[in-house]
Amino acid sequence: MAIVDGLLLAAKFRGGLLGSLIGDCLGAPYEGDVNISKVVLQQYFNKLGGSYTANKVPYKPYTDDTAMTKCVASSLIAKGGLDPQDLAKRFVVEYFNDPRRGYGHNVKDVFSKLRAQKFEDPFGPAREQFDGAGSLGNGAAMRIAPLALFYHQNYEELVEKAKLSAQITHTHKLGVDGTVLQAAAVYQSLQANPKQNLDVKEFSKGLLQKMAAIEKDEEGLGLDDPHPYQTQLKIIQDLLAKEDGATDRDVQKLLGNSVAAQFSVPTAIFCFLRAQESIPDIETENPFQRTIQYAISLGGDTDTIASVAGAIAGAFYGSSVINDSFIKHCESSEEIIKLADELYDASIARSAGKGS
């Protein structure tokens, strides 16, 4: 952690949570779309990035991705670490207070069952999803950024807590491992120095090594490919190495843009890595904006892929790279900044032995 001092680390916490929020809010209007016009998308970003005048510009509401991310952050802050029962309660209270946030179709059953059994077993209802197979959706990965930031000083602990936090709603190996992959990506971003060009080969190699340690005991779990995330990471490396650049079609076909964690988390990681350099038809010098704009341009699960990519980008660059106008256009951005600062304090207090 030597290259990241306290000030930068605090800015990276803000960047990670703001990136997650902005990707969600800006991506939400396009969720489910195919063939998004690059010209229209560019105009959308130009307008949102222009000078901000309160009440005169569109205000972008957040969706379930942010609602659940806020629960993860506030639970970690309140409890000084992961407390699955407390987190499950926060998900349920949040959902029943404000259900119209575009939640996944099946995860709502988990919330009802958790409420009915009074949180006695916070993992029980998720295990029953999809006839006992568990959900393989990206709903646990999309909310993991606060946890990856909080546990940044101990990678083994981060993996263990990321898995547990996922299992409150997602118990399928693909849902859990996709969450670990996103946690690992945010972790690597946080450790990297934004003043130097990112070595995208090293970044993907680091993730491959980490997923090799995760995907080692899956024989007998019934997956066609025993190493699905390593397969996706190798595709990322191939696409990055393409001389004339991967086409949108390549990315959609090979990496995917669906609600499945396997076909959205690696896609988001690819968006962040590809956006280190210019991308055709995306007019901005700002690599954070490029990441989010590119993620949305691929269509499909745009709020989530942009949110996951935005968290990785924000944790790498820190909040200073983020256009203030984007921040102000997003619902609850002030609350997110406050949560990021409190999460940073809680994480530092814990590692200094002062936390619980």
3-state secondary structure of 60: strand
- Residue 7 and residue 318 in contact, taking contact as beta carbons nearer than 8 Å: no
- Measure the CA–CA gap between 141 and 179, rounded to whole angstroms: 4
- Residue 175 and residue 166 in contact, taking contact as beta carbons nearer than 8 Å: yes
Q: Which of residues 275-304 bind ligand R7I (CB under 6 A)?
A: 301, 303-304
Token pair 């995330």 in the structure block, residue? 229
Residue 320 is encoded by which pair of tokens?
């200073």
Q: For ligand R7I, how many residues bind (rule: CB under 6 A)?
A: 22
Under rule CB under 6 A, residue 63 binds ligand R7I: yes
Pick from 13, 16, 64, 84 the residue near Mg ion by CB under 5 A: 64
CA neighbor of 104 nearest in space, from 71, 131, 130, 133: 130
Pick from 15, 23, 65, 284 the residue near Mg ion by CB under 5 A: 65
Under rule CB under 6 A, residue 172 binds ligand R7I: yes
- Measure the CA–CA gap between 264 and 243, rounded to whole angstroms: 24
Q: In angstroms, what is the minimal distance from the CB of 331 to Mg ion?
A: 13
**Stretch binding ligand R7I (CB under 6 A), from 11-19, 132-140, 210-218, 340-348:** 132-140
Q: Which does 130 bind (CB under 5 to 8 A by kind): ligand R7I, Mg ion, none?
A: ligand R7I
- Residue 149 and residue 125 in contact, taking contact as beta carbons nearer than 8 Å: no
Pick from 14, 30, 65, 312 the residue near ligand R7I by CB under 6 A: 65
Backbone angles phi, psi at 104, to 5 degrees: -55, 150
Pick from 177, 215, 248, 303 the residue near Mg ion by CB under 5 A: 303
Q: Which is nearer to ligand R7I, 14 or 172 (CB)?
A: 172
**Stretch binding Mg ion (CB under 5 A), from 45-53, 74-82, 95-103, 168-176:** 95-103
Interface positions with ligand R7I (CB under 6 A): 63-65, 102-107, 130, 133, 135-139, 142, 172, 259, 301, 303-304
